[in-house]
Amino acid sequence: MSDLSSESPIQNKYLCVDFLNTEYQLKNTRVETLTTAPQVVDWLLACGVFPEPADQATLRAWAQQLPDALLALFYALRTDFRQLLAALHQQQPLPKVELARLQALLQSGSRSTALAATPAGWQLQSRLALPQLAAMAVPLAESLASLLVAGEAERIKTCANAACSILFYDTTKNQSRAWCSACGTRAKALRYYHKQKTIS
């Protein structure tokens, strides 16, 4: 069983996977962690997606002024992501409607890039323009697009615990990982307990 409440928002290589994990099954019960528009914004900011104070203010204003539209945008996006990922896992063509919506979202965002001096040296920093509500979901669309381009869908797995539906990015060379971090820790602790009990 997994409990995401104590985990950092960023758990996987691809942000889209963490986004999908904002809704999961636990003991046959659906758990929704993003139930309000401010929670969506807080999650995005905790992930470091929009570090600029001005952008954060814009997102918080939208959460107050357009809460229903904001929630509908992210719920629909999450559903589309699941459909696209399922098609990838089944090695089927990507569903046209969901793919078209992903393409439209990618095209709705525009980025500006600038050189910035940091303690580590010069760096290129990219900032996403926020002309409309949909733009706040562009980083998630970009993450899924990166997953598609990299061809790493097979590394996105569902936890082997039947009572858990958490997705994770498998970093093992032979892709042998079967558990999410929470269930894997519990399984390891249980194996250790039984081993110690056998020894004693």
Domain layout of the chain by residue ranges: 4-114+125-199
Cα gap 158→128, rounded to integer Å = 31
Strand ranges, E, within 77-161: 111-118, 121-128, 156-158
Are 16 and 140 contacting, i.e. CB atoms less than 8 angstroms apart? yes
Are 170 and 177 contacting, i.e. CB atoms less than 8 angstroms apart? yes
200 versus 180: which is more confidently predicted?
180
- Indicate the pLDDT class of residue 111, thresholds 50, 70 and 90: confident
How do beta strands 29-32 and 111-118 pair?
A: unpaired
Question: pLDDT digit string (tens) for 15-37?
Answer: 999 999 999 988 888 999 999 99
**What dihedral angle (degrees, nearest 10) is formed by the CA atoms of 7, 126, 150, 107?**
110
Q: Give the per-residue pLDDT at 48.
A: 92
pLDDT, averaged across the chain: 87
Q: Give the per-residue pLDDT at 188.
A: 55
Question: pLDDT digit string (tens) for 36-88?
Answer: 999 999 999 999 999 999 999 999 999 999 999 999 999 999 999 999 999 99
**Check whether domain 4-114+125-199 has CATH 1.10.3300.10, yes or no:** yes
Produce one character per residue of 7-46: b if its CB has 16 or more CB atoms within 10 Å, e if not.
Answer: eebebbbbbbbbbbbbbbbbeeeebeebeebebbbbbbbe
Cα gap 200→194, rounded to integer Å = 10
Cα gap 190→46, rounded to integer Å = 32
Question: pLDDT digit string (tens) for 133-176?
Answer: 999 999 999 999 999 999 998 999 998 888 888 999 998 988 88
Cα gap 14→126, rounded to integer Å = 18
